[in-house]
Chains A and B, each alone.
Chain A
Amino acid sequence: MRINYKPQDRFDFAIFLPMIFLIIAGLLAIYSSTVNHPTAHGNFQKQLYWAVFSVLIFFIIYYLPQQTFRMFAIVTYLAAIFFLIAVLAIGKTVYGSKSWFGFGGFGFQPSEFAKLATILMLAYWLTYKSRDINNFKDIGVALLIGFVPVILIMLEPDTGTSFVFVFITIALIFWSGISLFGMFVVLSPGVMVVASLFGVHVFLIALILVVIALFFFKKDLFNSISVFVINLASGFFFNYAYAVLKPHQQKRISSFLNPYADPLGAGYNALQAKVAIGSGGFFGKGFLHGNQTQLRFIPEQWTDFIYCVIGEEFGFIGSVIVVTLFFVIFMRLLKLSSTAKDKFSVLVIVGVLTLLFSHFAINVGMNIGIAPVIGLPLPFLSYGGSSLLVDVVLLGIVLNVYRNRKLHT
């Protein structure tokens, strides 16, 4: 039986159009923040080429056979790990982290590519034949898939990006139907880390709560003791981890707590970003008329602080429109996650959602002062070719799933 599909049945405009609008908003903001800049005035043109290139790739991805992603998951992932190791050896150091390959005028970030690869690999592993998500071994492998890139990226070091891999891994394990106990095993070490931040007393209380929880789970002694030991170790681990953080990263955490304490130091960017957005008012100061932006009060504004260009020059209206476009994409991804019928596609969509949402929440959050200053680009808007390409490709995969969803009914 042949069915005549309407275009919107095969192509989800509710994702594609917001994405295009966001890319355009990003280009405008990049233009505004670099047009008068002595060294960065070429960025708009570069980003424009990347945008056109990315959209072309988007359609190629869209038309690929659906099996492609599943088939190439392992290869992609191994390639990504290879690149992550290679970049540590021969990469270019930019802003203190070794995260770039340079090819002539263009750069490429393997960690961006690794996001795509890790989502595919996790989705592949978690949906392979009769995977038991509550089996310690299977969880262990899933965690390993997620945490190998985390550790490699931390070595660059690019802490912000490595967080995103943690979120993706946890989200996919969670969505796969891990049991309450399994989730407890995965999450409680993280809780212990946070608890240890607040000193010995809080740490001890948390440890007691872990013991009580273990008692109620009524697992065998071996399991219970193992989990307890893992928790205890992760609490102590944090002190070492904090010491591993670069001083500027430690400072970023403390300057988030009180950005006004050191207005010219680490808190400077956060403060100036808030001033830029706040001074935009309801309608904004107008395109190219934001003095914070035009007078370059925020260094490298076209990367992590691109959102405050929108906030300053297009005001509350522009800021809310951008946030809403993201909101539409996220809602749509959630909706698609229940329409797609095969588990692999669902997990890919959830992975994409987690990735875009964590970037969005951390980036916008730090621009408006409700999240710490962690260097993560804003998807589709921030300057940077590899990041834009990967984000667009991810949505291309989602639309590929959408295109093929009817075939499974």
Chain B
Amino acid sequence: MNDTIFGSVFRKRIFFLMVVGFFAACVMQLFNMQIIEHPIYSEKSDENSVKPIHQMAPRGIFYDRNHKVLVGNKPSFTLRIIPAEYDKKLTPYLEAILGVNPGYIDHILKQNETYSKYIPRKIAKDVSFKVIAWYEENSAKLPGVDYVMETQRDYSFGVMGAHMFGYSKEIPSEVLERRKNEYDIGDEIGFNGIEKTYENILRGKKGTKYVLVDSKQKTIGRYKNGAEDESAIKGDDLILTIDKDAQEVAEEEFKDKRGAVVAIDPTNGDILAFLSSPEYDLKDFATVTSNDVWKKLNNDPDKPMFNRASMSIYSPGSTFKMISAIAALEDGVIDTNFTVNCRGGLQFGDRFFKCLHVHGTVNITTAIEHSCNTFFYQLILKNGLDRWSKYARKFGFGKKSGLDISEESSGIVPSTSYYDKVFGKGRWTKGLLVSLGIGQGELSVTPLQLAQYIGLIANFGKSARPHFLKGYVDAETNNYVEVKPQYYDLGISRKTFDIVRHALYLVVNGSGTATNIKMPDIAIAGKTGTAQNPHGKDHSIFIGFAPYDNPKIAVAVIVENAGFGSLVAAPIARDIIKAYLQKDKKDEKVNQNLANAVAAQGGKKSEN
């Protein structure tokens, strides 16, 4: 070899070092990538090729207390196009079948052009069954077109109930931001009413199917043969306290009226009927709500979206008189011997407060029976503002009842501190009190509070927090889970209630203000009210319960701008009572059988 100043051994060594050095670098880099950083790459690789496809879980169904369906689910078909396989020549046919304008499909395909051609595009939601049948017949000639079945709410069971049921809709981005861990974009979430309160049990569990996709998002096959797939679990079905028959009657009667109805089982707080009128149609909210519907609902002066039954505040009028009566009797301010001579009103200071009639000498019973204002003007003065206010709050006024929907107002029960705040200390007079005595003035209540109040009177001060949910069927175990009502007792003596209840009995069955709704077979007790209203005709109010001896239903009815309570509101209350009690008799046996069946089913499950 040529021996120059660079010896050949030296040159060989340079080659050797390069080979060994690179070999070492390779092994080190491989060690680094495949062992130390393996988890990072592994995750990246999975993200690359495993794509989860979510399957929506159908929401739980709403049943009434007798297991009749109130709100159900129905299949809804969504038509899709996979651009990579789709033949554009089909567009005119598809557009004709779907009844959309020419160019509609092109528009949708253009919108998402940048995404992979293998991702299906939804072209029409809630497609009619006819279209699907047509598709099934011709699918061989329709490459790149398919459909998926989803579920949507079905409201075709004869009740409206929009304000209590509420609706669900696609999760708004600000909610999604807060609940990222629970929801994905495009998920449905209960937006108001019962759908919102019981969202957690109603929504069920989304299913996930894992598929393998290639670098173009084309589905290649299933991931691990479906071993990791999770099927969707339907939401829990709710058994509501609502009585479908009573609800239907209420809705029927209110078709052309504005107002609200709340009916409660006084023994346990079950809400039997709940209505705010005018209603809105939940069918418009089952899929995507159109802008026209929104505009119409929002611009309607009757405000159909507003929940009058638990949010609207009214003056209770004469229906509030029993608060004064109970406060005075219970605290010994008066007894049944106390009388007032009604000469058609009361002069208080420089103002004359009217009574509707000249009732002559009235005691507590006749004062309620005939709704004598003079008596109650006097009585609230004897009680004093704070005693009256304390009892009003005891019966649930001025605060939320804790109903299991979030749309609820507390109303206002004035007290010394309230007036001090509004008018300033010492800058208001007892004259304000006099109006409160007959349920007018600054006092305001919700129909729900009135129902709760008459229920407490019916059941001698014992009841439970008003609620819509009786129980639910756990979708995973199929067990019925009962939700126990939250009972409470006002601790007011039976003697006081006996006097007041008797007077309420006479209102309907004696010579009182609502004898027009007296029924031969059902003893109704109640109280009429007429609430002054600065914006128009008085509101007609009736609160009552039945049967008198063993109350099973307490109901509050308010009809806006309808005049005297006895004429409009009382007959509606009677019809609801009738619908509930007469059916109740008939169905008692059926109910018992159902309860047994559910119990038997539950028992069998737990044995396994």
Point out residues on A near B: beta carbons under 8 Å.
133-134, 171, 174-180, 183, 272, 274-282, 291-292, 294-297, 311, 315-316, 319-320, 323-324, 326-327, 330-331, 334, 337-338, 343, 346, 350, 353, 357, 361, 364-365, 368-370
Chain B, 1-21, CB within 8 A of any chain A CB: 1-6, 8, 11-12, 15-16, 18-19
Q: What A residues does B15 contact at CB under 8 A?
A: 171, 334, 350, 353
Are A370 and B44 CB-contacts (below 8 A) given A295-B215, A296-B214, A327-B23?
Answer: no
Q: What B residues does A272 contact at CB under 8 A?
A: 48
Whole-angstrom CA separation of A78 from B40 in the bound complex:
52
Q: What B residues does A350 contact at CB under 8 A?
A: 15
Report which of B16, B26, B42, B214 forms a contact with A334, defined as CB distance below 8 A: B16
Whole-angstrom CA separation of A282 from B6 in the bound complex:
44
Q: What B residues does A338 contact at CB under 8 A?
A: 8, 12
Q: Apart from A277-B33, A357-B19, list 18 A-B contacts with CB within 8 A.
A: A175-B11, A178-B4, A278-B37, A278-B40, A282-B34, A282-B35, A292-B49, A294-B220, A295-B48, A295-B220, A319-B34, A320-B30, A323-B30, A331-B19, A350-B15, A353-B15, A365-B26, A368-B29
What's the dominant secondary structure at chain A's contact region? Answer: helix
Total residue contacts A-B, CB cutoff 8 A: 129
Asked if residues B16 and A279 are in contact (CB atoms below 8 Å), the reply is no
A-B CB contact pairs (8 Å), 13 listed: A177-B2, A177-B8, A178-B4, A274-B33, A279-B45, A280-B34, A281-B42, A282-B34, A295-B212, A316-B30, A324-B23, A338-B8, A369-B29
Whole-angstrom CA separation of A138 from B202 in the bound complex:
89
Minimum CB distance partner of B22 in chain A: A361
Closest beta carbon of chain B to A236's beta carbon, Å: 30
Whole-angstrom CA separation of A315 from B220 in the bound complex:
24
B27 adjacent to chain A (CB < 8 Å): yes
B25 adjacent to chain A (CB < 8 Å): yes
Q: What A residues does B22 contact at CB under 8 A?
A: 357, 361, 365
Minimum CB distance partner of B45 in chain A: A279
Asked if residues B5 and A179 are in contact (CB atoms below 8 Å), the reply is yes
Q: What B residues does A296 contact at CB under 8 A?
A: 214-215
Are A297 and B214 CB-contacts (below 8 A) given A176-B2, A338-B12, A370-B25?
Answer: yes
Q: What A residues does B38 contact at CB under 8 A?
A: 278-282
Point out residues on B near A: beta carbons under 8 Å.
1-6, 8, 11-12, 15-16, 18-19, 22-23, 25-27, 29-31, 33-35, 37-38, 40-42, 44-46, 48-50, 212-215, 220
Whole-angstrom CA separation of A292 from B212 in the bound complex:
11
Report which of B3, B16, B42, B49 forms a contact with A278, defined as CB distance below 8 A: B42
Whole-angstrom CA separation of A326 from B27 in the bound complex:
12
Whole-angstrom CA separation of A191 from B3 in the bound complex:
26
Report which of A179, A316, A319 forms a contact with B4, defined as CB distance below 8 A: A179
Whole-angstrom CA separation of A274 from B38 in the bound complex:
10
Report which of A275, A280, A327, A370 forms a contact with B19, defined as CB distance below 8 A: A327
Whole-angstrom CA separation of A401 from B236 in the bound complex:
82
Whole-angstrom CA separation of A291 from B4 in the bound complex:
55
Q: What B residues does A315 contact at CB under 8 A?
A: 34
Asked if residues A278 and B8 are in contact (CB atoms below 8 Å), the reply is no
Closest beta carbon of chain B to A182's beta carbon, Å: 9
Asked if residues B45 and A276 are in contact (CB atoms below 8 Å), the reply is yes
Closest beta carbon of chain B to A165's beta carbon, Å: 18
Q: What B residues does A282 contact at CB under 8 A?
A: 34-35, 38
Q: What A residues does B40 contact at CB under 8 A?
A: 278
Asked if residues B11 and A278 are in contact (CB atoms below 8 Å), the reply is no
Whole-angstrom CA separation of A275 from B45 in the bound complex:
6
Are A364 and B6 CB-contacts (below 8 A) given A278-B34, A331-B19?
Answer: no
Asked if residues B41 and A274 are in contact (CB atoms below 8 Å), the reply is yes
Are A320 and B27 CB-contacts (below 8 A) given A279-B38, A282-B35?
Answer: yes
Asked if residues A337 and B12 are in contact (CB atoms below 8 Å), the reply is yes
Closest beta carbon of chain B to A149's beta carbon, Å: 22
Q: What B residues does A295 contact at CB under 8 A?
A: 48-49, 212-215, 220
Q: What A residues does B27 contact at CB under 8 A?
A: 320, 323
Closest beta carbon of chain A to B29's beta carbon, Å: 5
Count chain A CB atoms within 10 A of each CB in B29, B30, B31 and give the residue with the most.
B30
Whole-angstrom CA separation of A272 from B41 in the bound complex:
10
Whole-angstrom CA separation of A274 from B40 in the bound complex:
11
Whole-angstrom CA separation of A324 from B26 in the bound complex:
10
Asked if residues A357 and B18 are in contact (CB atoms below 8 Å), the reply is yes
Report which of A183, A326, A327, A334 forms a contact with B12, defined as CB distance below 8 A: A334
Asked if residues A177 and B48 are in contact (CB atoms below 8 Å), the reply is no
Q: What B residues does A369 contact at CB under 8 A?
A: 29, 33
Closest beta carbon of chain B to A342's beta carbon, Å: 10
Count chain A CB atoms within 10 A of each CB in B1, B41, B215, B220 and give the residue with the most.
B41
Asked if residues B49 and A297 are in contact (CB atoms below 8 Å), the reply is yes
Whole-angstrom CA separation of A240 from B29 in the bound complex:
35
Asked if residues B8 and A291 are in contact (CB atoms below 8 Å), the reply is no
Whole-angstrom CA separation of A316 from B35 in the bound complex:
8
Whole-angstrom CA separation of A368 from B41 in the bound complex:
12
Closest beta carbon of chain B to A300's beta carbon, Å: 12
Whole-angstrom CA separation of A278 from B3 in the bound complex:
47
Closest beta carbon of chain B to A276's beta carbon, Å: 7
Asked if residues B45 and A292 are in contact (CB atoms below 8 Å), the reply is yes
Minimum CB distance partner of A291 in chain B: B49
Asked if residues A368 and B5 are in contact (CB atoms below 8 Å), the reply is no
Closest beta carbon of chain B to A357's beta carbon, Å: 6
